Amino acid sequence: MARKQGKAAKLKPAKRKSSANKVAKQPKPIELYYWPTPNGFKITIMLEECGLPYVIKPVNISKGEQFNPDFLKIAPNNRMPAIIDPQGPGGRPISVFESGAILQYLGRKSGKFYPADERARVEVEQWLFWQMGGLGPMAGQLNHFKHYARETLDYAIKRYEDEVNRLYGVMDARLKSRPFLAGKYSIADMACVGWANLWQRQGQDIEQFPNLKRWLEAVKARPAVKRGMAVGLELRQGIDMKDPKVQAVLFNQRAKVA
């Protein structure tokens, strides 16, 4: 029995794929408001480790650019680093200030160096906040009184040299039984490396802390750390930190009440 012939199907012309559709949409780079200091290095290292695209927005702290109104909108504490991520949560821009908060944000965004497991995350956070509340502030005060204060205050220098020495001892003891501060390499290590790298300037003897020395060498050997700690070094060339005009911007600031 012969089949009935159906109507011939009309063929629609195939749609041409534009070259734009073939190329994956490139993510917008994160804007990093930055100056080459140990706190700034934390973020360049993390961005390099994660392979996230970013652009540098220099904030020349010796000229007071950290007090510019536009910068204060994203960094109300007058301090760099800060970031603007054009593709934040929900695809909308977000700004983040404070280096520790930025590291945590980038860790969640990338899924790298900041574990999702709660116990592992607590290990990282303990040492991240240890740096934020201890190693950074104490080393920063030592740097001020040892190198920049207009008068030599032996008590202040000894006070902070001793405290940095104590903190190095804490790190050394922690690193005796593990390769990195939280066991695995993490944002906690990134937060500390720029400060520990200044051991000589801080009047410390690295040989006194063999585990810390081993850790420091291992972290600094990472290619992303090398790249991150080289970003923008040329920006601070020629700046005299003992220039009274520079010191007036950096030190002895008081609240600006509107």
- C-alpha 241/C-alpha 225 separation (Å) is 26
| Secondary structure class of 159 (helix, strand, coil) | helix
Tokens of 1: 């029995």
Q: Provide Rg for the chain, Cα atoms.
A: 25
> Which phi and psi (to 5°) does residue 94 adopt?
-145, 145
Task: Spell out the per-residue pLDDT of the chain, length 258, in tens.
Answer: 333 334 443 444 445 544 445 456 778 999 999 999 999 999 999 999 999 999 999 999 999 999 999 999 999 999 999 999 999 999 999 999 999 999 999 999 999 999 999 999 999 999 999 999 999 999 999 999 999 999 999 999 999 999 999 999 999 999 999 999 999 999 999 999 999 999 999 999 999 999 999 999 999 999 999 999 999 999 999 999 889 899 999 998 899 876
| Secondary structure class of 180 (helix, strand, coil) | strand
Amino acid identity of residue 181, one-letter, is: L
Tokens of 59: 């904030």
Q: What sections of the chain are H helices per DSSP?
A: 19-22, 38-50, 69-72, 99-110, 118-130, 136-143, 154-174, 187-196, 210-220, 223-228, 244-250
Which residues are CB-neighbours of 36 under 8 A, at least 6 positions away? 231, 232, 233, 235, 236
**pTM of the model as a whole:** 0.89
- Find residue 55's DSSP bridge partners: 31
- C-alpha 222/C-alpha 234 separation (Å) is 21
Domains and CATH numbers, the chain: 27-112+232-250 (3.40.30.10), 118-221 (1.20.1050.10)
Q: Look at residues 53, 92, 54, 99 and name the one whose alpha carbon lies nearest to residue 75.
A: 99
